[in-house]
Chain A
Amino acid sequence: MSSADLTSERDLPPERETSAKGDLAPEHDGPRDTGMDDASLHRWLARTWRTPPGIIGALSSVDHKVIARRYLITAFVFLCLGGLNAVAMRIQLSGPQRGLIGPDLYNQLFTMHGVTMMFLFAVPIVQATGIYLVPLMVGTRNIAFPRLNAFSYWVYLSGGAFAWISFLLNMAPDVGWFAYVPLSGPEFGPGKRADVWAQMITYTEVSSLAVAVATIVTVLKQRAPGMSLDKIPLYVWALLVTSFVVLFAMPAVMITSTFLILDRLVGTHIFNPAEGGDALLFQHLFWFFGHPEVYIIFLPATGMVSAIIPVFARRPVFGYLGLVLSLIAVGFLSFGLWVHHMFATGLPKLGASFFTASSMMIAIPNGVQIFCWLASLWDGRPVIRTPLLFVFGFFFIFVIGGLSGVMLASVPLDLQVHDTYFVVAHFHYVLIGGSVFPLLGATYFWFPKITGRMMSERLGRWHFWLAFIGFNAAFFPMHLVGLWGMPRRVYTYPAELGWGNINLLISAGAVLFFLSFVLFAFNLVHGVLRGVPAGDNPWDAGTLEWATSSPPPSYNFTRIPVVTNVEPLWAERGTLPVATGLRVDARELLISTVAEAHPDIREKSATPSIWPLLAAIAVGGTFLYSIFTPWAIVWGAAPIAITLIGWFWPKGDPEDEE
Chain B
Amino acid sequence: MNQRPAADLSGLPTFGHGPRSPTWWGTLGFMALEGTGFALAAGAYLYLATLWPNWRLSAPEPNHWPGTIVTLLLIVSLVPNHILNGYAKQCAIVPVRIGMVVMSLLGLAPLIVRWFEFLALNIYWDTNAYGSMIWILLGLHTTHLITDVGDTIVLTVLMFTHHGYSGRRFGDVGDNVFYWDFVVLTWIPIYLLIYWVPRLG
Contact = CB atoms under 8 A, between A and B. Distances in A.
A268 B20 contact: no
Contacts of B57: 275-276
A220 B1 contact: no
Contacts of A285: 40, 44
Given A221-B25, A599-B12, A656 B130 contact: no
A19 B166 CA distance: 10
A216 interface: yes
A23 B163 contact: yes
B122 interface: no
A540 interface: no
B167 A578 contact: no
Interface in A238-281: 247-248, 250-252, 254-255, 259, 262, 266-270, 272, 275-278, 281
Contact of B6 (A4, A252, A562): A562
B3 A559 contact: yes
Interface stretch (A6-14, A95-103, A398-406): A6-14
Q: Which of B17, B21, B44 has the most CB of A within 10 A?
A: B44
Chain A at the B interface: SS class: mixed
B30 interface: yes
A440 interface: no
Interface string B34-74: 10110011001001100110010100000000000000000
Given A248-B32, A251-B33, A266-B125, A558 B3 contact: yes
A472 B200 CA distance: 58
A334 interface: no
A207 B131 CA distance: 31
B136 interface: yes
B14 A34 contact: no
A304 to B, nearest CB: 24
A34 B5 CA distance: 9
Contacts of B17: 3
Nearest to B9: A581
A646 B159 CA distance: 16
A276 B48 contact: yes
B111 to A, nearest CB: 14
B14 A649 contact: no
Given A19-B162, A144-B22, A213-B29, A251 B36 contact: yes
Interface residues of B, number: 63
Nearest to A258: B136
B125 A252 contact: no
A591 B19 CA distance: 11
A217 B22 contact: yes
Contacts, number: 238
A7 B29 CA distance: 26
B64 to A, nearest CB: 21
Contacts of A272: 129
B83 interface: no
A601 B163 contact: no
Given A23-B163, A221-B22, A288-B40, A7 B13 contact: yes
B91 A34 contact: no
Interface stretch (A70-78, A366-374, A507-515, A569-577): A569-577
Contacts of B32: 247-248
A247 B167 contact: no
A658 B162 contact: no
A42 interface: no
Nearest to B132: A268
Interface string A72-98: 000000000000000000000000000
Contacts of A48: none
Contact of B7 (A11, A212, A214, A580): A580
A69 interface: no
A647 to B, nearest CB: 11
Contacts of A291: none
Between A22, A251, A575, the greatest number of chain B beta carbons within 10 A of the residue's beta carbon is seen for: A251
A255 B14 CA distance: 39
Interface residues of A, number: 89
A547 interface: yes
Contact of B12 (A34, A222, A558, A602): A602
Given A217-B22, A599-B7, A252 B36 contact: yes
A656 B162 contact: no
B80 interface: no
Contacts of A480: none
Contact of A9 (B6, B48, B126, B167): B167
Contacts of B91: 6, 12-13
A599 B129 CA distance: 53
Nearest to B5: A580
A604 interface: yes
Given A24-B166, A213-B29, A658-B14, A270 B133 contact: yes
Given A8-B13, A217-B22, A266-B125, A15 B93 contact: yes
B36 A247 contact: yes
Interface string B108-151: 00000000000000000111111111011000000000000010
A67 interface: no
B48 A281 contact: yes
A603 B21 CA distance: 9
A579 B30 contact: no
Contacts of A321: none
B26 A213 contact: yes
Given A278-B47, A558-B3, A601-B13, A212 B29 contact: yes
Contacts of A34: 5, 8, 10
Interface of A: 3-4, 6-9, 11-13, 15-16, 19-24, 32, 34, 144-145, 148, 209, 212-214, 216-217, 220-222, 225, 247-248, 250-252, 254-255, 259, 262, 266-270, 272, 275-278, 281, 284-285, 288, 536, 547, 558-560, 562, 569, 574-582, 590-591, 594, 599-604, 641, 645, 648-650, 652, 656-658
15 contacts: A3-B17, A4-B13, A7-B11, A34-B5, A248-B33, A250-B33, A269-B131, A270-B44, A270-B129, A276-B52, A547-B1, A578-B3, A580-B5, A591-B22, A601-B12
Given A7-B14, A34-B8, A34-B10, 10 more contacts: A20-B165, A269-B131, A281-B44, A562-B7, A582-B10, A591-B20, A602-B9, A645-B154, A657-B163, A658-B167
Interface of B: 1-22, 25-26, 29-30, 32-34, 36-37, 40-41, 44, 47-48, 51-52, 55, 57, 89, 91, 93, 125-133, 135-136, 150, 154, 158, 162-163, 165-168
